[in-house]
Amino acid sequence: MKSFVEVKQGSDFPLENLPYGVFKTNKIAEPHIGVAIGDYVLDLFVLDKYAFFDDTCLKGTNAFSKPTLNYFMSLGKKVWSEARKAIQVILSEDNTTITQNEYLKKKTLISQKEVQMLLPVDIGDYTDFYSSREHATNVGLMFRGKDNALMPNWLHLPVGYHGRSSSIVISGTPITRPKGQSKSDNDEMPSFGPTKQLDFELEMGFFIGNGNNLDECIDIKKASEHIFGMVLVNDWSARDIQKWEYVPLGPFLGKNFATSISPWIVTMDALEPFKTEGPVQNPEPLPYLRTKGNPSYDINLEVSLQMEEMNEPCTITKSNFKYLYWNINQQLAHHTVNGCNTRTGDLMASGTISGETKDSFGSMLELAWKGTNPVKFPNGSERKFIHDGDKITMKAYCECGDLRIGFGEVTGKILPAT
């Protein structure tokens, strides 16, 4: 597919992608909905105003005139697909509607360098899963030993917990080192102070488009119809605080201080060519969790760390979304099987995504193996966990031949505790 907008080789945002986001500029004070195309943002707010969608099922909805994507997401899968096709037609190289109108071109195509990306969704609820077998096994080995690495329930259901949506922030937002209680194995009493074991967690998340009513469950065969798209997620973690507090109810202050997400939501239609098999599930899940075909996605993931004294970031791990044991349809089906209702804009994260080898582990906890084997860098420095001033960058993309569908990146720099 070709667009009249130049899309450089290797760009995350070709015409086959068109991820949705919300932005503003120095000249645009109010949030506008747009899609990424090459190095530009196409302003859908302006196109909506000029009736570009009157020949689609969006006519009269003003869906792109809202400050967030929630209303558009609530319209359902048929509308999402038709809107995407309409935008592809608008941007195609054969369509001269915009190219022959210099005023309209200037109003609708904005350099990504000029925009400030905002949270694209009003996020009501946030659930974090724990769905990577390799990650769960690694953590279990560190803290419980080989015989009890995986808890008895882990291979039978997608383990998860409810996070805090109020502290979800957009990529680029600085992260202040959190404080809390911690207790080492050798101390008699806990102490209070900034975390000494700040960590990243390489995750991906999906947004609910249209949810389900209370007391209704989402059948796994229809789960994909409720999922609007995906983002990159860095679910920051304070390991020492979490270790002391998590018994018996799970994570609290060690997790709820910040979760960073990438600004562009890549739709499931754009990811369709990259569907793939997931890991073999043994024992076979209960009937309500059984999936067929290719329920996962081949999405390359990588994390880099840049210290303040470094001129460029250093890649410290590469993983892949397809390693995830429990897929997103299973996560959603399990989340609602008890009648729990989900709503438009709810975010569900995968949990840390680790592969089988050390260079594919999705957290510093694993890469440095609980601080016993520090990660070494070309400048001679090393890290057991993240220091103040360190900047973490995550990237994600799918590739097949010349086609690349990317998510952009999610970044966060650590500031000292206040």
The token duo for 395 is 């990237």
Which of 135, 226, 334, 335 is an active site residue? 135
3-state secondary structure of 335: helix
Locus of tokens 């997931």: 278
135 among known catalytic residues: yes
Whether 38 and 3 have beta carbons less than 8 Å apart is answered as: yes
Say how many CA atoms lie within 13 Å of 144 toward its Cβ.
12
A 10 A CB-CB count for 382 gives 11
Whether 180 and 195 have beta carbons less than 8 Å apart is answered as: yes
Contacts of 124 (CB under 8 A, 6+ apart): 165, 343, 344, 345, 346
Locus of tokens 């605080």: 241
C-alpha–C-alpha distance, residues 408 and 166, integer Å: 23
Locus of tokens 């973490």: 392
- CA-only gyration radius of the chain, Å: 22
Beta strand pairing call for 375-376 and 347-349: unpaired
A 10 A CB-CB count for 236 gives 25
Which of the residues are catalytic? 135
